[in-house]
Structure 1
Amino acid sequence: MTRSADARLAAYALLAAAGLVAALALRRTELAAVAAPFALLVALGVRSTPPALKAWVDVDRDRAVEGDEIAARVTVRTEAAVDRLEIGLALPEGLELADGANPVALRLAGDEERELELRLRCVRWSAVELGEVWLRARDRVGLVRHEGRIDRRRPLRVYPTPERLRRLLAPAHTQAATGSEVARVRAEGLEFADTRPFVPGDLVRSINWRATARRGSLVVNERHPERNADVVIFLDSLAEARAAAHGTLEEAVRTAATLAGRFLERRDRVGLVTFGGILRWLEPGGGLVQRYRLVDALLETGVEFSYAWKDVNVIPARTLPPRALVIAVTPLLDERSIAALFDLRGRGHDLVVLEVSPEPYLEPGEDPSDSLALRLWRLQRAELRAGFERLGAAVATLDSETTVEEALEGVRAYRRHARLVQR
């Protein structure tokens, strides 16, 4: 623990020294008697030693969801008596005190142990470390304080609250593995596709007996198989729009976590590419383990400033399978990420762009030129969205009035219309 003196200790030391000097100079013993109490207080403060303190922090869990409350217990123990001890648990960003006192001042007797119960509320998704305890003890006369920090930090992951989605996007291509998505090809499956005449090699169970009775010849049913899909979440973290404690990155991470969880529930293989100053990727996979990997990777996403020009060539090939559905969650603010998305579409990837609108975080000025600049900026973004749509990539905008479910419905409508035009 570090030691620091109160301002009163310096004043007392000055008064004691002045009294003793005056007593010696004027040969007046009464002046020395007046200075003696101040000198005694200074001596007590100088001889003060830091108390031997120990502290532990216990948290009831290491994973939570936004809005949850977690219980934390701070235990402190001392060998010698402490007249006044101030204890505070450092709360990282994203956590706030829901119940209890923090910091708190108390008195401890010799060889005493005290427990402090706290309830913490998770207000924002984050990957933090909780358990840093700050201690401050004062001597008996309150002239010297000892401050220290005990590090008992442990990781705590707060997952974003997923939105409810009734339907997901249907990929343009499916994989060979079994899943929940009805494929367009015809093979063994459950979804009825069409009927055709019987040929040698067809299974008896596929015969449609009603159609056979009507036509007088054997007719079999054709079905669509249930396959899975490869889905890659492309999270743009090169730039963001922010106002106070909220920004487009928070909404983008929440949207990406929602989509990843729902696609995994559908038994699809999901991968991740965080396209930012620090490039991170996760190859497509399925199952509960993959879900935790995806969310943990999303929690570590931040806006990292970089001048380096990045394109899709820096992404490992196995991270972007050729028949994968690529869902880009981006504010469309950085030219590098925009160019990378155009490149992905040019290479034939099935691309969907979910634009996290930065407009709610803008504060336009009152000058007429500011209004004109805002209109030009909106026109540029409209032209950018139209450029993606001309290439066959659906674009949907997410803002405070549009949910992910509504945005996906717009994407489905565009893709249905695009297929009708191609036919």
Structure 2
Amino acid sequence: MSGQRAGAASRLSRPAARVVASRRLAVYLGIGAAGLLTAVLFGRPEAVAVVVPLLLLPALGLAAAGSPELSISIGQARERAIEGSEVALSVSLQASRPLWGLRLEIRPGREVTARPLGPSVSELRPGAAADLHWALSCRRWGGRRGGTLNVSAQDRLGLFSYHWADQRLPGLRIYPAADKLRRLIPAARPQMSAGDDVSNLRGDGIEFGGIRQFLPGDRVRHVNWRATARRGTLQVNELRPERNADVVIFLDTFTELELGKENSLDRAVRAAGSIAGAYLRSRDRVGLIGFGGTLRWLAPGLGERQAYRIADSLIESEVIFSYAWKGLEVIPPRTLPPGALVVAVTPLLDERSLRALLDLGGRGHDLVVVEVSPLDFLPPAQDEPAFLARRLWEMERQALRTRFVSVGVPVVRWDAGLPLAAPLLAASRFRRERRLVAPR
């Protein structure tokens, strides 16, 4: 999946202006009224001559007053982007009458910051277009609904100001940044359709599976001449067929830990996106379970369209409290495809997630748990009691991991600073040592 290939978005609007009288107009009218009152009360006609210019300016301003027409065209280079990238935003303005003191304010939303590009424009003439540009920096994943643009200007005398507020910007979906994963956890029971997973069964394929003695019916092109010369008898290469797998990502959204600008949900979402993308590139079928305040289930699928479905679901992840979960602590029996590999990304803190995962392991599902370490989000212990409490808590968590291992489920801890590939490699090693990967 590449968020860089999504098409551009644009909006054209001609909103009505809100006209506001300035303080300067009030001052001119106040001084003019005071001068006229002085001339009448005290018989001082020279006061009229003094205030006439001050009254002429408001008169001219009022004569020209009205709501100017402004055409606002907003263009955005992409509707989808990746965390850490920039998206170009352009605004083109055309007015029916001259405007001075032009000001534009971009409010892009909490996941995005706007950086102006090029000089600003302070004056707009009729028939001429003012083109302004910004770079939107995508700081964090999320489904931004579209920020707002505020435009303000004034007339030449500064007596009236015009405001076009809350003009909607195009929406922007920001997908989590993904780690590059070269090696993945092999599924124990892949499907019979072709894929990139190497089966433990011998057969036609391109992956080397071993060397054995030549048997009648073997093809000559499979003869290993070096092994034959070394052993003195005909030896052939065994090959393994490639199969695809059903993989389901289990994302725990019941809890979220924060320390500074970092939080556990961000790390979990990025990990889930990275793992899903890597399996999809291996031509495996990938699905998603969002296990939290609301249960979200995306059936396994293939290809780029499925990658976008998963990414769109991930950016909607959030911690939601719901009473509906008080009696639901397991994944329904027929939710998962037969033989699917389940990769759970969780901090292992919420009892409902723990019971659901232990239930999956107890039912014999092919399960791997990637633990987003909560230790990274705890402040350091400041005294001896706090240190002892932390040690006891770590012992409890180790006992929890042992419960998973007792049912054949590896729990691999993912600490801050480690690449995501490290816990996945540890899980593969565990499964290989425990001989959890059966012939397929």
TM-score (norm 1): 0.83
The structure-2 alpha-carbon separation of the partners of 1:159 and 1:36, relative to structure 1 and needing over 3 Å to count, comes to: same
Partners of 2:385 and 2:52 in 1: CA distance:
74
Partners of 1:32 and 1:110 in 2: CA distance:
37
Partners of 1:406 and 1:72 in 2: CA distance:
39
**Contact kept? 1:326, 1:350, Cα under 8 Å:** yes
The structure-2 alpha-carbon separation of the partners of 1:369 and 1:221, relative to structure 1 and needing over 3 Å to count, comes to: closer
Letter in 1 for 2:66: T
1:292 to 305, 308, 324: 308
1:24-423 to 2 correspondence within 5 Å?
Answer: 48-98=65-115, 100=117, 104-130=120-146, 132-149=148-165, 151-190=167-206, 191-192=208-209, 223-309=239-325, 311=328, 313=330, 317-318=334-335, 320-364=336-380, 366=382, 368-419=384-435
Partners of 2:224 and 2:377 in 1: CA distance:
63
The structure-2 alpha-carbon separation of the partners of 1:212 and 1:34, relative to structure 1 and needing over 3 Å to count, comes to: closer
Unpaired runs of 5+ in structure 1?
none
Aligned CA-pair RMSD = 3.7
Shift of 1:419: 2.2
Partners of 1:16 and 1:361 in 2: CA distance:
67
Letter in 1 for 2:111: G
Shift of 1:337: 1.7
**What count of residue pairs does the alignment treat as equivalent?**
417
Describe the SS at the equivalent of 1:254: helix
The structure-2 alpha-carbon separation of the partners of 1:23 and 1:269, relative to structure 1 and needing over 3 Å to count, comes to: same
The structure-2 alpha-carbon separation of the partners of 1:218 and 1:108, relative to structure 1 and needing over 3 Å to count, comes to: closer
Unpaired runs of 5+ in structure 2?
1-16
**Contact kept? 1:56, 1:76, Cα under 8 Å:** yes
The structure-2 alpha-carbon separation of the partners of 1:357 and 1:9, relative to structure 1 and needing over 3 Å to count, comes to: farther
Letter in 1 for 2:279: F
Partners of 1:421 and 1:129 in 2: CA distance:
44
Which has the larger displacement, 263-272 or 47-56? 47-56
Partners of 1:413 and 1:130 in 2: CA distance:
45
Partners of 1:150 and 1:54 in 2: CA distance:
14
Letter in 1 for 2:117: G
**Contact kept? 1:207, 1:218, Cα under 8 Å:** no
